[in-house]
């Protein structure tokens, strides 16, 4: 079970865009096998680097407005936000080492 915070169309602005933390949003859906595969990896990264990055999850089926706004056309898609802006996008399920390499600038 995921320990990441779930965000919605209604809470996205307050929890992600208004946050003073670095936030990775995992855009996912129940039916997406690769999404389910990457979820525990993101949970691990979030737990190991809780002082540097916060992981949240947004279900694209339940929250189509935010998914459309950020042009999510394939999932899993992970976007890193700082100061309300997207500063990094990672598309597709990857092993932990590859994700950590993609996110290195935020985990250092």
Q: DSSP character for 100? A: H
For 28, half-sphere exposure in the C-beta direction (CA atoms, 13 angstrom radius) is 25
- Per annotation, catalytic residue among 15, 16, 23, 32: 32
- Per annotation, catalytic residue among 16, 24, 35, 67: 35
Active site residue 32: yes
Active site residue 69: no
- Nearest CA to 2 out of 75, 54, 56 is that of 56
Q: Residue 67 forms beta bridges with which residues?
A: none
The DSSP H or E segment spanning 96 is: helix 96-102
- Residues carrying an active site annotation: 32, 35
């Amino acid at each position: 079970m995921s320990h990441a915070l779930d965000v919605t169309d209604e809470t996205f602005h307050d929890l992600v865009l208004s946050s003073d933390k670095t936030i990775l949003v995992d855009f996912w859906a129940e039916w997406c096998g690769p999404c389910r595969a990457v979820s525990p990896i993101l949970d691990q990264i979030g737990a190991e680097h809780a002082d540097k990055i916060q992981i949240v999850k947004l279900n694209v089926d339940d929250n189509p407005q935010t998914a459309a706004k950020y042009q999510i056309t394939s999932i899993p898609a992970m976007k890193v936000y700082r100061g309300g802006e997207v500063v990094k996008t990672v598309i597709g399920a990857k092993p932990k080492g590859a994700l950590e390499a993609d996110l290195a600038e935020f985990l250092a």
